[in-house]
């Protein structure tokens, strides 16, 4: 490949003398410092003491985050494939940015002239800054005039977002700061492995436990997080709402609910009560294997605790019933009155670096900046005015991330621009994605490296790392903060916002993308969100730098921000939260005699998302060079697993072979495989692409499989 050279830190590419930034990985967004070092590359990463979220802490990924930035495989020049019909088979050739823009713009215009504006699509990412997320949405609708944009956050937070909007009238992953966790006396962690996914969040839980809190974890596996728990419920994937209905049944039957809170601040108790009546603790034991006494203990303990917090994550959300699962956990917090006051709350733990901000400002198919809906006439009129166009020029809503890939396979979408994502690894049933990408007449990928997706690109353009691009992000609490530029971009790589603006110019729409710098983009973003649910209009770069972050909504210049939501009212017009009676439904793919086991996927502590960065970080890759499947001793015995055996996992979509770890710490009929690898090590080649009907989240967590020994 062209343009692969080592990157060295020199005085010419150090941009910020203070060398303070924020980690590029999980949603904690811990602050870090780059300090001089005698060892190569001349800098070393240390935790920064001045950010209030994870003061003085970094996990292994954060400490090693400089390594991929300076990696010798970084793309430093625009690259293209001469063979347009089979780009994956050709060699990369180097080009100038001028030639890249000219060719990409002309091919987009040709495709749109032939097939219409919607034949071109954009696929974004949940680790991009707020400014770049905003610009991608604006670029798609103003420069391309296409309705087709979505992003990899659809695979992360969409079920939780939909549930929060239904129950509370607004979606902010955590409506209270992390600092509330130590004040909770009872904490339920459902479908989340914080110790490996957000390691610097663990001290909050440890402090709560030191203060006497009871901690319950609900997960099909014993994890590093469950080691902290007083009670661990090893629930088979797919039974989440059955189990929660059992808790709700006990609480309501024994009249342990917060009667005045429920009466004054919620709607829907009668429906909920009627729905959970059949789900006695005894019936839940029969259906799930969770002992009746355990169900009663958790229900009574949480209801009677003075304070309590429920935190959920992907384990229960990445299902075709993910929205309903999340709504049921919200029910638990609401009927016990544990929300909107000290030491109480319901929160969904955002996964990606900017998973919260990334979904607020226009990357989602149906949204405009500030959480406005693109089909709302008033929202269209307001945002169109900010952008300097007529409301009727804005396209309608598109479709979700995976549905865009399906539309490529079906022939409706002919071109795609991918920025900040690797959908061929992160998408379910990724063999379909691979087939679809081969059909594109134009695929443009902006990345630091040649990802698995980039191998199918016609153009691979060098993007900017987290240390090179200034901007703002919004962490899992809803705290907006400023991330400074630390290093200059190496080679001919380009800041992401510059690429978007310059491509818009090449398409003849540059007049809508005139920015002197990234702060100008944020100021326009703030204006575009004014009056929306996620209102940033009172936030400025100056305030963010001075105040170390501001919680949205912040609707005016003098407004202090909103760390605590729902103290007095919820975001529905009547101010009341909604309770929902959830009748548990089957997964899209139940087990049967041909596929008698459940495959579930997730993360390991050393890697992040599709592994494009972490698999190139030597210290991380050494710890987890390949995915390891986890199975129970019962299952190992059933298939006659030998000492040196591997296992073959087969679903209705294909078959893969993995190294295996036998552990009693997993539900007996469940096999777990992490998803951070590509090609024949990519578990998503065989996962199920069924979607939640509301959130359009794929069912990553439940896939019917058979397991065989491979010698």
- Averaged over 665-693, what is the pLDDT? 97
**pLDDT grade for 337, boundaries at 50, 70 and 90:** very high
Tell me which residue of 542, 367, 660, 465 sits closest to 66, measured CA to CA.
465
Q: What is the CA radius of gyration of the chain?
A: 25
Is 87's pLDDT higher than 90? no
What is the percent of the chain where pLDDT is above 90? 93
Q: Could you read off the pLDDT of 641-666 as tens digits, one per residue?
A: 988 899 999 999 999 999 999 999 99
pLDDT for 514: 97
Residue 7 has a pLDDT of: 62
Write the CATH number of the domain with boundaries 597-710: 2.40.40.20
Q: How confident is the model at residue 4 (pLDDT cuts 50, 70, 90)?
A: very low
The pTM (predicted TM-score) of the whole model is 0.95
Residue 2 has pLDDT above 60, yes or no: no
- pLDDT for 83: 79
3-state secondary structure string across 306-335:
CCCEEEECHHHHCCCCHHHHHHHHHHHHHH
Query: What are the boundaries of each domain within the chain?
Result: 79-155+354-519, 158-348, 597-710
The mean predicted confidence, pLDDT, of the chain is 95
Classify residue 42 by its DSSP letter: S
Q: Is the pLDDT of residue 611 over 60?
A: yes
Q: Which residues of 480-490 are buried (b: 16+ CB within 10 A; e: fewer)?
A: bbbbebbbebb
Average pLDDT, integer, range 269-294:
98
What is the arithmetic mean of pLDDT over 584-598?
97
Return the pLDDT at 8.
Answer: 59
Q: What is the rounded average pLDDT of the residues 489-509?
A: 97
pLDDT tens, position by position, 544-577: 999 989 999 999 999 999 999 999 999 999 999 9
Q: Is the pLDDT of residue 176 over 60?
A: yes
For residue 12, the model assigns a pLDDT of 58
Confidence of residue 17 (pLDDT cuts 50, 70, 90): low
158-348 maps to which CATH number?
A: 3.40.228.10
Instruction: Please say whether the beta carbons of 384 and 362 come within 8 A.
Output: no
Rounded to whole angstroms, the Cα distance separating 311 from 601 reads 19
Whether the per-residue pLDDT at 284 is higher than 70: the answer is yes
Indicate the pLDDT class of residue 18, thresholds 50, 70 and 90: low
**Can you give the length of the chain in residues?**
711
Is there a cis peptide before residue 553, judged by omega within 30 degrees of 0?
yes
Please determine, for residue 541, whether its predicted confidence score (pLDDT) is greater than 80: yes
User: Topology of 79-155+354-519 in CATH?
Assistant: Rossmann fold (3.40.50)
Mean pLDDT lowest for which of 77-91, 109-123, 306-320, 676-690? Answer: 77-91
Residue 15 confidence (pLDDT) above 70:
no
Rounded mean pLDDT of 438-446? Answer: 97
């Amino acid at each position: 490949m062209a343009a692969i050279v080592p990157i060295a830190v020199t005085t010419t590419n150090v941009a910020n003398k203070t060398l303070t930034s924020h980690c590029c990985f999980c949603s904690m967004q811990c602050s870090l410092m780059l300090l001089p070092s005698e060892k190569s590359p001349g800098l070393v990463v240390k935790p920064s003491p001045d950010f209030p979220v994870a003061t003085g802490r970094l996990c292994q990924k954060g400490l090693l985050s400089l390594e991929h930035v300076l990696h010798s495989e970084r793309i430093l020049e625009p690259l293209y494939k001469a063979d347009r019909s089979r780009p994956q088979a050709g060699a990369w050739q180097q080009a100038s940015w001028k030639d890249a823009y000219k060719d990409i713009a002309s091919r987009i215009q040709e495709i749109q002239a032939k097939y219409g504006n919607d034949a071109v699509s954009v696929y974004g990412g949940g680790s991009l800054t707020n400014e770049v997320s905003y610009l991608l949405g604006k670029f798609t609708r103003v420069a391309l005039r296409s309705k087709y944009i979505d992003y990899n956050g659809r695979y992360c937070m969409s079920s939780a977002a939909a549930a929060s909007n239904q129950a509370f009238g607004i979606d902010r992953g955590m409506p209270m700061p992390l600092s509330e966790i130590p004040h909770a006396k009872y904490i339920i962690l459902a479908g989340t492995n914080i110790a490996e996914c957000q390691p610097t969040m663990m001290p909050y839980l440890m402090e709560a436990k030191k203060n006497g809190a009871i901690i319950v974890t609900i997960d099909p596996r014993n994890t590093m997080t469950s080691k902290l728990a007083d009670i661990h419920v090893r629930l088979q994937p797919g039974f989440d709402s059955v189990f929660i209905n059992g808790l709700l049944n006990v609480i309501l039957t024994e009249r342990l609910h917060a009667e005045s809170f429920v009466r004054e601040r919620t709607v829907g108790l009668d429906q909920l009560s009627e729905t959970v009546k059949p789900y006695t603790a005894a019936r839940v034991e029969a259906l799930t294997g969770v002992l009746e006494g355990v169900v009663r203990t958790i229900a009574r303990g949480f209801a009677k605790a003075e304070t309590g917090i429920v935190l959920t994550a992907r384990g229960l959300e990445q299902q075709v019933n993910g929205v309903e699962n999340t709504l049921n956990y919200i029910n638990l917090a609401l009927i016990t009155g544990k929300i909107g006051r000290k030491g109480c709350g319901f929160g969904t733990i955002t996964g990606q670096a900017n998973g919260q901000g990334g979904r607020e400002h226009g990357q989602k198919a149906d949204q405009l900046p500030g959480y406005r809906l693109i089909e709302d006439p008033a929202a269209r009129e307001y945002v169109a005015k900010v952008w300097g166009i007529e409301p009727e020029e804005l396209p309608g809503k598109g479709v979700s991330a995976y549905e865009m890939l399906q539309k490529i396979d079906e022939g409706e979408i002919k071109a795609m621009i991918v920025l900040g994502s690797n959908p061929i690894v992160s998408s379910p049933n990724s063999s379909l994605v691979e087939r679809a990408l081969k059909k594109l007449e134009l695929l443009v990928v902006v990345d630091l490296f040649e990802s698995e997706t980039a191998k199918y690109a016609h153009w691979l353009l060098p993007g900017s790392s987290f240390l090179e691009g200034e901007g703002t992000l919004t962490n899992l609490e809803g705290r907006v903060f400023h991330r400074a530029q630390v290093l200059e971009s190496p080679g001919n790589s380009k800041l992401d916002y510059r690429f978007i603006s310059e491509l818009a110019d090449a398409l003849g729409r540059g007049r809508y993308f005139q920015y002197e710098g990234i702060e100008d983009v944020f100021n326009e973003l703030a204006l575009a969100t004014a009056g929306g649910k996620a209102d940033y209009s009172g936030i400025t770069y100056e305030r963010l730098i001075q105040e170390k972050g501001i919680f949205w909504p912040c609707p005016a210049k003098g407004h202090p921000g909103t760390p605590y939501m729902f103290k007095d009212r919820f975001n529905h017009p009547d101010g009341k939260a909604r309770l929902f009676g959830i009748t548990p439904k089957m997964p899209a793919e139940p087990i049967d005699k041909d596929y008698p086991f459940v495959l579930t996927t997730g993360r390991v502590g050393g890697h992040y998302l599709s592994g494009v960065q972490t698999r190139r970080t030597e210290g991380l890759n050494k710890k987890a060079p390949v995915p390891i499947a986890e199975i129970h001793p019962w299952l190992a015995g059933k298939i006659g697993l030998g000492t040196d055996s591997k296992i073959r996992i087969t679903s209705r979509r294909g078959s893969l072979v993995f190294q295996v770890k036998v552990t009693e710490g997993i539900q007996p009929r469940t096999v777990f495989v992490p998803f951070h690898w590509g090609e024949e090590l990519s578990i998503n080649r065989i996962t199920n692409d069924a979607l939640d009907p509301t959130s359009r989240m794929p069912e990553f967590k439940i896939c019917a499989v058979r397991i065989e020994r491979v010698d």
